[in-house]
Structure 1
């Protein structure tokens, strides 16, 4: 067999396997909300011989666009992408960070032109560069009335910071209403905190996926993922395949979800 024939054969087998995985998934077993932590972009660029980390981040952003289409095709209703943490803003090399900010802005703009998709920024807009904050706000406003796939872009995001912001909002609202601290302390509930998170009104993630083999949350959706299922993929972010995604969904569908146990 020629090299091209072998490649075609592998492609055919891959498509057949993907189709078989897809057929075994039913609407009842597909998660409503999937959170994705794309990791390994810099490692991918280094291993592939690219000169800068930006090449990896750009490949990772393109893969996230593909990932969203896979989710949409499968019937997932909400996807949260972890793109830039509060720690990234202070710890990344300035040139790499500038490139990453530009790539995220391009991705947000592209997603806001996908028919039917709704884009929402979750994170602290005030700590972002003005242009990135503007692009995110424009993408959110442009898609506000859309009812298709809901895409949360976690940019300038930290789970601990989100909880702090929620508590601050509750305190400010309670003070404005003339309530006492004693009354607030006696009546504060998890549900009340949930009503002040960036993702207010959304169902919590059913499934959290992370690429590159790392197995940690990295301050992502700490409150919302209390009862989520987790799936870790060995592939680096840009190497994620649709079959990897379908395996994650298959694995999720096979689990016996237990809340609090």
Structure 2
């Protein structure tokens, strides 16, 4: 059970990020370092997910988005993809009841129709089970690509214009945002990427417009809730101006 220590590490005057997104990178390199299989690296990485969730709950974060599997990851060797899908099945079957008991809501974004039918069913059941929870919304980006998401949103809006439901002059940033898969979810305040890489890798491109970024040298399987708290403390030292002059 995650302890109920919401915002305990922060003063009442500090505004913790409402939404933290994480690009979980480094499972493969961790496996090489530890001289184990990539599958074992991914399994160890799944354990770090629990650390991130606990850190988010303790910090008082409302939304935690984890980049679990990109649309480009389908191009990886079939054995690795199979290992990842097997791990996803294990997580959905073993962890969802625990998340529900802890008051955590699960939402999956991405093209789930590319997933095996049994996984699609498990995702739908998990979302339905946890739909009324409010302690933390855990968003899993699965078979997700931001360019694809934006393209689909553009097609959706174009169809509405063509049908006469939306006038050309009524197209706005709000309309685009509400046409994305993250509709109803606030844009991320902080995006963390592990493993030392410094790029977005097709993740939340529209939503990241004014996010703060933190690139960590730690490999994802080594991620802990203490590192999550350190990331939040780093965020709290920054001044967010949204383009305004200091």
TM-score (norm 2): 0.89
Aligned counterpart for 1:128 among listed residues 110, 115, 128: 115
Is 1:83 aligned with 2:83?
A: no
Give the C-alpha shift of residue 110 in structure 1.
3.9
Find 1:54's aligned residue among 9, 17, 39: 39
Residue 198 of structure 1, aligned match among 177, 181, 185: 181
1:224 counterpart = 2:207? yes
In structure 2, what is the Cα distance between the partners aligned to 1:259 and 1:111?
A: 38
Aligned partner of 2:91 in structure 1 is: 107
* Counterpart for residue 31 of structure 1: 17
Partner of 1:157: 144
RMSD of Structure 2 on Structure 1 (CA): 1.9
Find the counterpart in structure 2 of residue 95 from structure 1.
79
- Give the alignment's TM-score, normalised by structure 1: 0.84
State the shift of 1:208 in Å. 0.4
Q: 2:194 aligns with which of 211, 216, 219?
A: 211
Gaps spanning 5+ residues in structure 2: where? 1-7
Q: Matches of 2:13 and 2:20 in 1, distance apart?
A: 14
Over 3 Å counting, the alpha-carbon distance change for 1:26 and 1:207 in structure 2 is farther
Residues 24-69 of structure 1, C-alpha deviations (whole Å, 9 max, x = no match): 554733111000111000110111011x211000110111122111
- Give the Å deviation of 1:163: 0.6
Q: 1:11 matched to which residue of 2?
A: none
Distance 1:190 1:110, change over 3 A: farther
Residue in structure 1 matching 2:128, options 123, 138, 141: 141
Cα distance in 2 for residues equivalent to 1:30 and 1:111? 26
Kept after mapping to 1: 8 A contact 2:51/2:224 = no
CA distance in 2, matches of 1:161, 1:146: 29
Contact 1:41/1:237 (CA < 8 Å) preserved in 2? Answer: yes
